[in-house]
Amino acid sequence: MKFRIFAIFCLLTAALSRPAFAQSAVGAGLQAGVGCQQGRDDCAGGFLAPVLSVDLSDRFVVRIRGFAFTVSDRTVVNQGVSINESEIKRRMVLGDFIARLRAGSRARPMIGVSLGSRRNSAAITCTPGPCSSVFGAARSSYPPDGTQKATSSVGILAGFQFSLTELLDLETSVSLHDPWQENGGTAEAGVLLTLRLWKSR
């Protein structure tokens, strides 16, 4: 549902920015970054994310990206049962809508919103085991098979875009997703290099 709202919002923006479509473009890039999961003490989750972007105009950009990062292990103890969660990985697929400021500048501030989904997975071991016999007595954020259902995600982002050449852009940004959800919040920071594949005349 949120992806439908995002698509409708993009179409409306495209219609409103039609006079500036002479500067529309399509690009592909790679983002290198680090992700942090709410409730963790470390931010060691490095990732590489492929990115597809469409410039609706000189000001507005829509892009799609997906990435995954791993966070540190943890152990949950409840009623004498120890549940160890290891190889914890968070996967996110996001659509970003971005507004770039200071038209004509080679260094442009930008702000935006993200809509998408997230899914966590982990290897689960229990003491005493097996896990299927103890999950009724102990609480973990994962089901016995270690994979959570996909959950919708909403976030905000801010950063700067630098025009390196006519075909290459460099972007630095920070994003915050779902801070109101217990153990669901995600913070990320990254650097994105985008190659412009097509640009309207």
Give 8: exposed, middle or buried? Use CB within 10 Å, 0-12, 13-18, 19+.
exposed
Q: Which fold has domain 2-8+25-70+93-119+151-199?
A: Porin (2.40.160)
Asked which of 76-90, 166-180, 184-198 is least confident by mean pLDDT, the reply is: 76-90
Residue 144: asked if its preceding bond is cis (omega within 30°), the reply is no
H or E element that contains 116: strand 107-127
Give 111: exposed, middle or buried? Use CB within 10 Å, 0-12, 13-18, 19+.
middle
Q: What are the residue ranges spanned by the domains of the chain? A: 2-8+25-70+93-119+151-199
Q: pTM for this one?
A: 0.79
Q: What's residue 145's pLDDT?
A: 64
Q: What's residue 41's pLDDT?
A: 63
Check pLDDT > 70 for residue 89: yes
Give 38: exposed, middle or buried? Use CB within 10 Å, 0-12, 13-18, 19+.
middle
